[in-house]
Amino acid sequence: MDASFDTLYSFFSPFFFIGIGLSIDPAALDLGVMIGAVLFTAATLGNLTGQGLPIFLIESQRSGWRQGRIAFLVLGFSMVPRAEIAMIIMQNGLKTGKWAVTSSTFNGMVVASLLTCVIAPILVRALLKKWPQSNY
């Protein structure tokens, strides 16, 4: 049943992201970039701490400090990318009015989502090359 929706998903997904792009206010982009950098930093640190730290403690006891560090980074950065749900909420807030979500805040969330979806996979790919495949 899921496969029957693949064509519809492939067709409609770009329209969601086009709608997000059209909702950006160019006049508020400078402040939005600063807000996005702060949100990206908070998301990255939060995920590294929340998801990465427990696996670091487990894996460093099991396989040593170096493997624990790699597991910490791989899992932490793997959990960073966020886009659809956060952007749906932000887009609805923007439609609700400036009292709910300002243009700068919306732009900041777009920048943060873009950064998480571009930077995290690049980092995870590089880290996975260091991952010891023989242990698993």
Please give the pLDDT value at position 133: 67
For the entire predicted model, the pTM comes to 0.77
What are the pLDDT digits (tens) for 51-95? 888 988 888 888 888 888 888 888 888 888 877 788 888 989 999
Mean pLDDT of the chain: 86
Sign of CA dihedral 84, 89, 95, 97: negative
Please give the Cα distance from 32 to 39 (Å, whole number). Answer: 10
Rounded to an integer, the average pLDDT of 94-112 is 92
